[in-house]
Amino acid sequence: MELIKILDILGPLLALPFVFLRKGRTRRENLVILFLVVQLVLNGIAKYIMIQPDGHNNNIFFYKLNAFLSFGIAGLFMLTILKKMLAAKAFGLIAAYYTVSLVVLLIILINESNTSFNSMSFSLTAFSVCLFCVIYYLNSLANPGDENIIQTSKFWLITAFFVYYGSNFFIFLTFGLLAKYNIKGLGLWGIHNVIFFISCCIILIAAKWIKK
Amino acid sequence: MDQKIGLIVILTLFMLLMVSFIAVFVVLYQKRHTNYLKEKQLLQYHFSQTLLQTQLEIQEQTLKNISQEIHDNIGQVLSLAKLNINTMNCNEPEALQGKINDSKILISKAIQDLRDLSRSLNTDYVVEMGLLRSVEYELELIKRTGVLQTVLRIEGKPYRLEQQQELILFRIVQEILHNILKHAKASVIDVFVQFKQELFTLTVTDNGIGFDASRLESSDYSGFGLGIRNMHNRSVMINTAFALNSTIGKGVAITLQLPINNPVK
């Protein structure tokens, strides 16, 4: 059970070297590095605060900051892909939606007190990234090209984001209910950590074994 | 403990749902991708078949042109030269000299005609000279016969097209000019070439007798002769819009429009 608690640090730590050392890394893949670094650093800080014995262990701000920055990076990653797939108007709408979501999250981050976890704002980030992923999947299905996307790192990176945010959407949205069942030994964030670790493994696979 | 198990079951189901979604996507995508590749292969096959067919048609037309040119022009000139030589009489030195001079002129003309023919049929030469100069040269040849006046007008900064496009466009222009000489009874041929950044336009107009082109309004060229159909098919093959306008007594105008992606500088 102790291992589950540090999976959110272990995951990015494991995937980072593979993405960093990937041959012919694209600019877009640099965003994945940034995503992993943000997760690693902010989860590390949050974890450090949590284990402090003096009672000053409120780490919610760092989780909120993590959610905001991660959404910013993952959203940007998705936009760079969708830009090449969608018509200018459709892309404009999505870009506008992304910008508005980012601003809303920033306002929440600045104005909200750090005493409680905001289920709705976290759900918004998860929903938005999932929406971008679904648009990507549907568009790929409607317009298959010469390249088999399943053999591209892009597909696996998006799938990693989809698994992470898709699962978290469920966790964040049903936070109240899940908090009620937050029994000792298997905390809510334990489940989050396992899912995040799986996503990091998918990123690792994409970086290590998918050549294109 | 029951609550804990319930939670694990719900989350596992949710994860399974997501994994299923991705698995279904992968299966569907693979299916569509395979179909796409098959369709593309089929299209490529059809395209290469059409290209081959067109090449054969061009070749056939070229042979026909050579045959006609040799029969109507070079053959006549050489026959005349032979007649001169046959009727030479050494006892009439003045007439003899005249016939020798005439024969020389006729043979020189036959040689020049052969050169012109060779030039206009040689694919490499067309590719080397480019479409514009090749068309200019064709018009010059027609003008030299003295039967027709030719005008070449150019708008915009000239650029080169892809080799295949230039060659096919040139063969279409040759076919148009050939048709004008054969059927139009025109006195002027006007060729207008427009080089725009995104569109190449070439229009050939004559002031001949024209014909009823009302059937062409629906872009259906099937009712017309092989020549027009071939020109239309060749245009389609290089993504060029082919438009023919004509009214009886007012000549014919044929416009070819090719969208430009990457002009060769």
Give the residue, B89 or A134, on which the prediction is more confident: A134
pTM score over 0.80:
no
Share of chain B above pLDDT 70, in %: 91
As a whole number, mean pLDDT of residues B199-207 equals: 93
What's the pLDDT at A135?
A: 94
* pLDDT, tens digit, 9 for 90 and up, residues A118-132: 677 778 888 899 999
The shortest CB-CB distance from B29 to any of A150, A181, A191 is to A150
Looking at residue B226, its pLDDT comes to: 65
The per-residue pLDDT for A185 is 47
Which of A144, A181, A186 is facing B36, going by the closest CB pair? A144
Q: Which ipTM value was assigned to this complex?
A: 0.83
Q: Distance (Å, rounded) from C-alpha A19 to C-alpha A32?
A: 8
Q: Which of A111-120, B79-88, B219-228 has the lowest mean pLDDT?
A: B219-228
Mean pLDDT of B32-39: 92
The first and second tokens of residue A98, run together, are 């992304």
Residue B11, min C-alpha distance to chain A (Å)? 8
Q: Which of A87, A100, A77 is nearest to A165 (CA)?
A: A77
More confident residue, A211 or B129: B129
3-state SS assignment for residue B189: strand
Give phi and psi for B75, each to the nearest 5: -60, -45
pLDDT in tens, B147-177: 789 999 999 999 998 888 888 898 889 889 8
Whether the per-residue pLDDT at B220 is higher than 90: the answer is no
d(CA A49, CA A43): 10
Confidence band, pLDDT 50/70/90 cuts, at residue B255: very high
Confidence check: pLDDT of B30 > 60: yes
- Residues in chain A predicted with pLDDT less than 50, given as ranges, are 185
Tell me how close the Cα of A57 comes to any Cα of chain B, in angstroms.
26
Q: Chain-centre distance of CA B8, in angstroms?
A: 71
Burial class (CB in 10 A: 0-12, 13-18, 19+), B10: middle
End-to-end CA gap in chain A: 37
Would you list which residues of chain B are within 8 Å, Cβ to Cβ, of chain A?
A: 1, 3-4, 6-8, 11, 14-15, 18, 22, 25-26, 28-30, 32-33, 35-37, 40
What pLDDT was estimated at residue A171?
76
Q: Considering only alpha carbons, which residue of chain A is nearest residue B22?
A: A159
- What pLDDT, on the 0 to 100 scale, is given for residue A1? 59
Residue B69 · residue B114 · CB < 8 Å = no
- Which of B25, B28, B44 is the mutation pick for testing A, counting most A CBs within 10 A? B25
Q: What are phi and psi of A134, to 5 degrees?
A: -65, -40
Percent of chain B scoring above 90 in pLDDT:
22
Q: CA B163, CA B184: separation in Å to the nearest integer?
A: 30
Q: Exposed (0-12), middle (13-18) or buried (19+): which is B210, by Cβ within 10 Å?
A: buried
User: Which of B4, B22, B32 is opposite residue A183, by nearest beta carbon?
Assistant: B4
